[in-house]
Amino acid sequence: MTSAPLISVSELRRTYKVKTTGGWFSPTAELKAVDGVSFDIRPGETLGLVGESGCGKSTTAKLVLGLIPATSGKVVFEGKPVAADSKRAWREQRRRMQMVYQDPLGALDRRLPVGTQAMEPLDIFGEGTKVERRDRMLALFDAVGLPRTSVDRYPHELSGGQRQRVVLARALMLRPSLLVCDEPISALDVSIQAQVINLLKDLQEQLGVAYLFISHDLKVVRHVSHRVAVMYLGRIVESGRPEEIMRAPAHPYSQALISAVPSPRARGKERIVLEGDPPSPVDIPKGCAFHPRCPLATDRCRSEAPELHPFGEQRHVACHRAGVSITSARGAA
């Protein structure tokens, strides 16, 4: 695919100043929520952003949409830079990029019928006549698999899965080319998750919308993404096609992450269990951020932070020891 990227993010950084204790005079430290993230998303494709808590994936989502300003770096959407300044140009861009959150009940107003809420984006941007808006809303309700009878229902009268569909319909009202989904199915029952996963894929095929799909759940990300980026402490440590990464992860953290996912097929297989908890984004270790927990760490890892470099076709890894398998290193030891 040689088409220009729909959205291009380069060296995005976002730091917060935090107080280390609660008082007025405590020293401030830097919290590096996002520490130099770059990626492209092509039209109609899905980039899965995967990582555990504190890795910066939700902050990245907000930076991409321009909901919070970046400390440095830039985001270019459909050829134009995204400025997080709430001015007119940005608000125009927002028609083309929307967000879907984890909690569908929280995303909907309890007091309004869902049909009205779904039409709101059209009302806000003044698109079409009243009749046209309603028609579009009904068409999208059909597309997301909601019965027309639900148009006048209130959010609490619908199930979790149905609510998430309403949220999706609303997000698609303005024909966005990019949908940022932040853990869109984590709050749903497992048997419903499959419905929404399939729906997202079908909508992508029908409408050509691209997704930035953020999740901690590798299994889901594998199913919906064309490309995956693994984040750790604000940086992307590995990116590439999901199948390649899941089958043969190159970065030690990816290896641990994938090995940690329990699978009925691989019961009793040897797992890579990392020591300790991830350090806080307030004091990121020098050198490679992962080295304190990495079973393969060397002196170089402790002093020199690795950059993302190409590793095979369409793959990038940020590791000095990329491609070394932890389990075989163990076996050899």
Partner 1 sequence: MLAYIATRVGRAIFTIFLVLTFSFTILAATGDPALLIMSVDAPPEAIEAFRERYGLDASVWQQYIGYLGNLLQGNFGQSLRDGRDAWDVVVERIPLTLALTVPAFLLKIGIGIPAGIYAALHRNSFLDRLVMMISVAGYTVPSFVLGLILILIFAVNLGVLPSGGQDTWRHAILPIVTLGTAGAAIIARYTRSAMLEVLGQPYIRTARATGVPWPKAVRRHALPNAAIPTLTVVGLMVGSLIAGAVVVESVFSWPGVGRLLISAVANRDLMIVQAILLLVAVCMVTSNLLVDIAYGLIDPRLRGRSGSRKT
Partner 2 sequence: MREPLVRINGLTIDFDTGQSNVRALHGFDLQIEKGEAVGIVGESGSGKSITWLGALGLLGPRARVAGSVRLDGREILGLGEREMAAIRGKRVAMIFQDPTSSLNPVHRIGQQLVESLVLHRGMSARSASAEARRLLERVQIAAAAQRLSEYPHELSGGMNQRVMIAMALAGEPDLLIADEPTTALDVTIQAQILEVLKEMRRETGMGLVIISHDLGIVAELADRVVVMYAGRPVETAPVSRIFDAPCHPYTRGLLAALPEIDGALERLVAIPGQVPEPHKLPPGCPFAPRCAQVNAKVCDETVPPMRAIAQDHAAACALIHTAKPEALRSLELA
DSSP state of 292: G
- Helix, strand and coil content of the chain, in percent to the nearest 5, comes to 40, 20, 40
> Phi/psi at 259 (nearest 5 deg)?
-65, -25
Q: Does 302 bind partner 2 (CB under 8 A)?
A: no
The answer to whether 279 contacts partner 1 (rule: CB under 8 A) is yes
Question: Per CB under 8 A, does 282 bind partner 1?
Answer: yes
Q: Which residue type sits at 15?
A: T
DSSP string spanning 8-50? EEEEEEEEEEEESSSSTTPPEEEEEEEEEEEEEE-TT-EEEEE
Near partner 1 by CB under 8 A: residue from 72, 86, 159, 280: 280
Binder of partner 2 out of 21, 53, 149, 328 (CB under 8 A): 53
Which of partner 2, partner 1, none has residue 18 at its interface (CB below 5 to 8 Å by kind)? partner 1
Among 2, 17, 24, 265, binds partner 1 (CB under 8 A): 24
265 binds, among partner 1, partner 2, none (CB under 5 to 8 A by kind): partner 2
Minimum CB separation of residue 26 from partner 1 in Å reads: 6
In the block, residue with structure tokens 């889901």? 220
97 near partner 2, rule: CB under 8 A: no
Distances (CA, A) of 127 to 86, 122, 124, 131, 195: 20, 5, 8, 11, 30
Single out the residue of 123, 189, 283, 307 in contact with partner 2 (rule: CB under 8 A).
189
The residue type found at 163 is: R
Q: Which does 194 bind (CB under 5 to 8 A by kind): partner 1, partner 2, none?
A: partner 2
| Separation between Cα atoms, residue 117 and residue 168, nearest integer Å | 11
- The answer to whether residue 135 forms part of the interface with partner 2 (CB under 8 A) is no
User: The tokens of 95 are what?
Assistant: 């028609």
- By DSSP bridging, strand 46-50 and strand 227-232 are parallel
Span 155-184, contacts to partner 1 by CB under 8 A: none
Which one of partner 1, partner 2, none interacts with residue 24, CB within 5 to 8 A by kind?
Answer: partner 1
Q: Which residues bind partner 2 (CB under 8 A)?
A: 52-53, 159, 161, 189-195, 197-198, 201, 216, 218-220, 222-223, 243, 246-247, 256-268, 271-274, 276-278
